[in-house]
A and B are shown apart, each in its own frame.
Chain A
Amino acid sequence: MELTQYLLDLSGIGRNRLQVRWVSAAEGQLFAEYVTEVSDITQKLGPFDPDKFELPLAAVERTLNSARIRWLLGLTKQITEQGNVYNEKLKKEDFKKMLHRAAEEEYQKALIMQVLEERPLSVKEMAEKTGLAVYTVSLRLNELERCNQAGLKQYSGNAPIFMGM
């Protein structure tokens, strides 16, 4: 939940569009209050345009499906409470920071993969489409290439064109 909200922030959708509230079956009054509260928050945020956020939404989903994030999430308890194979334990805040860093990288990779799915592109075109910096794109692309998720397709003049695999 927390990670999904973080990714919504990253993608420019904003974490406040996703709310979590716990209500028991005996708390009708509380429920009515929360309904009003959530409704007010969303009213303030204004309408959400899914067409404009199609790429970020797809990238968020891809990120949450990525092996790295799923591994990390699955290991949360083990790493923060029991320690890893070297018996090192991470503090909860440190783990969260690490998870966020990983999520950001995976999100950038997901954006790249998502735009490459349409057609092969040069680094500059990718940067334009995803809104990432050219340097960030080349870093992530390098990682993608190492994992055989993207590769060189051809040269157009001097500019290499990459494709998703």
Chain B
Amino acid sequence: MNDWEPKITTFLCNWCSYGAADLAGVSRFQYPPNFRVIRVPCSGRVGPKFILAAFRHGSDGVWVSG
């Protein structure tokens, strides 16, 4: 069980979290690698359809961040 890695789809806002993710990388903070990032122009654009589609395509979790 412990070697199982969750697949998490993240919707990141271009202007906020995507920048934060970039900064986290540049400043070399350590964080788990099991994220698939989708950059959206604004997290307000993320609707329920996106989230359900992510689940349907087999992600174990969805994270919306803006």
Contacts and interface: CB of A to CB of B under 8 A. Distances in A.
Interface residues of B, number: 40
Interface of chain A: mostly helix, strand, loop or mixed: helix
Contact of B35 (A35, A46, A64): A35
A28 B6 contact: no
A-B pairs, top 8 by smallest CB distance, nearest first, are A25-B19, A28-B23, A42-B61, A32-B29, A31-B20, A28-B24, A42-B6, A35-B31
Interface of A: 1, 4, 13, 16-32, 34-36, 38-39, 41-43, 45-48, 50, 53-54, 57, 60-61, 64
Given A25-B20, A31-B29, A39-B35, 15 more contacts: A17-B55, A22-B16, A22-B65, A22-B66, A24-B19, A31-B21, A32-B24, A32-B31, A36-B31, A38-B8, A46-B1, A50-B55, A50-B57, A57-B55, A60-B52
Interface of B: 1, 4-6, 8, 15-27, 29-32, 34-35, 48-49, 51-52, 55-66
